[in-house]
Amino acid sequence: MARLILICGPTGVGKTTYSISLAKEIDAIKFSIDPWMQTLFSKDMTTLDFEWMMERVNRCSEQIWQVSDQILAINGNVILDLGFTTKEQRDIFANRARKLGLEAEIHYLDAPTVTRKQRVEKRNKEKDPAVYAFEVTDMMFNFMEPRFEAPDEVELKNGRRINA
């Protein structure tokens, strides 16, 4: 049976690294939002405008879902590394999965803030193309920090919490 896995966690927790590993482990197609945003919109972004950015994230997410829906329909596994900052965002995709007769799995990665900041600094410095799409500045990290809503036990019923 096809699996839809939603990866969530705060900035710098290792969502993309985890997604890459999990995709190999379960033979899944992985979609990560950062390269889509970098490729399609980075040259157009002149300031850090959350509404502007989220509108484009949502456009990319819709296109990613169109392809994911086709993969799931042929019994393929899909991993979505789309940020999933809020419960509302996760619910949209969980509800879409239910309409297909699937229960989405939420994999919630968590790590202390200090650890995550160190990882971001390392990623910014190394620029490994497997996980680096753009530099995450301190301002960006601090901006996103209070916006992340951790999933509760109900959301994690079919998923897991990973101490990353």
pLDDT in tens, 78-111: 999 998 999 999 999 999 999 999 999 999 999 9
Cα four-point dihedral sign 50, 155, 93, 81: positive
Nearest to 142 by CA among 8, 10, 9: 10
Paired with 78 in beta bridges are 4, 29
Nearest to 110 by CA among 3, 4, 9: 9
Question: What is the rounded (10 degree) CA torsion for 95, 93, 110, 154?
Answer: 0
pTM here is: 0.89
